Amino acid sequence: MTKPTYTAAEASRTLGVSLDTLRRWDRSGRIETSRDSRNRRIVSAAEIERLRGESARDGLSARNRFHGIVTEVTIDGLMAQVEIQVTEPTRVVALVTRAAIEELGLKPGMPGTAIVKATSVMIEG
């Protein structure tokens, strides 16, 4: 059973972001927090679920998910480019169809999840 609320540190670990990022999100209104009796930030399980997009997981087998905030949507003709900032300063950029962007209703500032499913991944150092 999930906890009803999480401390800021627990929430940041669950979301895969730093505690400083969680604090910035709180100040900018990207995440809704409240305060406990000792004036510490707490985050509801529902808010964490909203940011992680867990309800959207149903039916997908991909395990590599990068949760973050949509920072840019560029539409050009039939194609669109979506940029999601995951754990700062990392970002994921994807090219998708314009129809997909319109169907998902993606706009900068809203939560988004990049799902990566590939037969191979190459890394260059």
pLDDT tier at 59 (50, 70, 90 boundaries)? low
Same domain, 26 and 47: yes
- What distance in Å separates the CA atoms of residue 25 and residue 19, rounded to the nearest whole number? 10
Domain span at residue 103 reads 64-116
Residue 39 is part of a domain; what is its CATH number?
1.10.1660.10
Q: What is the pLDDT of residues 97-123, one digit of tens each?
A: 999 888 888 888 888 888 877 766 554
For the chain, the distance separating the N- and C-terminal CA atoms, rounded to the nearest angstrom, is 41
Instruction: Compare 91 and 19 and report the one with higher pLDDT.
Output: 19
pTM: 0.45
How many domains, in total, are found in the chain?
Answer: 2
Same domain, 83 and 45: no
- What distance in Å separates the CA atoms of residue 64 and residue 80, rounded to the nearest whole number? 22
Same domain, 45 and 74: no
Residue 9, pLDDT > 70, answer yes
Question: Count of alpha carbons within 13 Å of 51, Cβ hemisphere only?
Answer: 26
Same domain, 69 and 112: yes
